[in-house]
């Protein structure tokens, strides 16, 4: 397993030379964490993120000799663009190309957000899917693992700075919109994210260094960043950063 070059505790931050080393390390951590949680559970419900960083992770994950118990792993998405699954923008489409087409996972374990549906209807439908499939903690559905990225504007999942209300909405999922393109999205809401057992923030690239530093060091515009408000009620947050994304941490 590729070792990190630096690590901190509280928060748990692991820094890697580059995104490939980050991906290699995280793919092993993904299996270890899933196996850890499967020691006392029948299944593990994992919400995946979209964007580009997961591509690196999935490519490493499918190459690992040690395979997760995919039969006991149920895959959800933390957010999805409201496009068809074969659209280049689709988070499911990306995951299918880089992960699902290369692993033996029962189709019933894959809980796709149907980006092609009417957004409001799909937010309701997916909320029900999550409610039906996840155990409850604090009376709310609780994912065992959520993988999140962070945008340069501090968004996470599809909770953008101009839609901070999604952090505390009562609904499990909501319709969101990209602030620039206005592309409709479906996203899980902040309190569902914060009700999970373990969150992995996977962040790579120099363009994320300032937002990462502001959030972790609670400086600059951190209060404007939705990712800053990811504070688990009953779990822990682990940061996997490449050197570039971590480069402003000690400024």
Binding site for ligand 6PG (CB under 6 A): 49-53, 79, 91, 149-151, 155-158
Instruction: Report the residue number, 150 or 216, with the smaller CB distance to ligand 6PG.
Output: 150
Shortest Å distance, C-beta 95 to ligand 6PG: 11
CB of 38 to ligand 6PG, least distance (A): 25
User: Cβ 205 to ligand 6PG, closest distance in Å?
Assistant: 7
Nearer to ligand 6PG, 43 or 90 (CB): 90
| CB nearer to ligand 6PG: pick between 43 and 53 | 53
Query: What gap in Å lies between CA 225 and CA 203, rounded to an integer?
Result: 15
Angle at 98 between CA 73 and CA 107, to 5 degrees: 40
Is beta strand 12-16 parallel, antiparallel or unpaired with respect to 6-8?
antiparallel
Contact 142, 136 (CB under 8 A): yes
CB of 55 to ligand 6PG, least distance (A): 8
Instruction: Select from 180, 187, 191, 239 the least CA-distant residue to 211.
Output: 239
Q: Please identify, using beta-carbon distances, which residue of 52 and 168 lies nearer to ligand 6PG.
A: 52
Closest CA to 107 of 58, 69, 70, 147: 70
Q: How far is the CB of 187 from ligand 6PG (least distance, A)?
A: 8
What is the rounded distance in angstroms from the CA atom of residue 157 to the CA atom of residue 227? 9
Q: Which is nearer to ligand 6PG, 191 or 208 (CB)?
A: 208
Tokens of 166: 């999604």
> Which residue has the CB atom at the shortest distance from ligand 6PG?
149
């Amino acid at each position: 397993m590729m070792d990190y070059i630096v690590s901190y505790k509280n928060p748990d931050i692991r820094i890697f030379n580059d995104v490939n080393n980050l991906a290699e390390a995280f793919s092993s951590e993904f299996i270890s964490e899933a196996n850890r949680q499967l020691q006392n559970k029948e299944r593990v419900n994992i919400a995946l993120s979209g964007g580009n960083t997961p591509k690196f992770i999935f490519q490493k994950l499918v190459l690992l000799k040690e395979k997760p118990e995919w039969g006991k792993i149920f895959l959800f998405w933390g957010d999805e663009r409201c496009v068809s699954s074969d659209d280049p923008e689709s988070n499911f489409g990306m995951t299918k190309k880089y992960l699902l087409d290369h692993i033996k996972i029962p189709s019933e374990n894959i809980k796709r957000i149907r980006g092609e549906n009417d957004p409001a209807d799909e937010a309701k439908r997916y909320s029900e899917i999550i409610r039906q499939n996840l155990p409850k903690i604090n009376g709310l559905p609780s994912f065992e693992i959520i993988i999140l990225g962070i945008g340069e504007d501090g968004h996470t999942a599809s909770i953008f700075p101009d839609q901070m209300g999604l952090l505390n909405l009562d609904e499990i999922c909501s319709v969101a919109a990209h602030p620039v393109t206005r592309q409709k999205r479906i996203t899980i809401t902040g309190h569902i994210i914060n009700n999970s057992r373990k969150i992995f923030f996977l962040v790579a690239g120099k363009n994320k260094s300032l937002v990462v530093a502001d959030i972790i060091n609670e400086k600059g515009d951190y209060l404007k960043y939705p990712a800053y408000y990811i504070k688990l009620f009953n779990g822990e947050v682990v940061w996997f950063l490449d050197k570039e994304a971590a480069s402003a941490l000690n400024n």
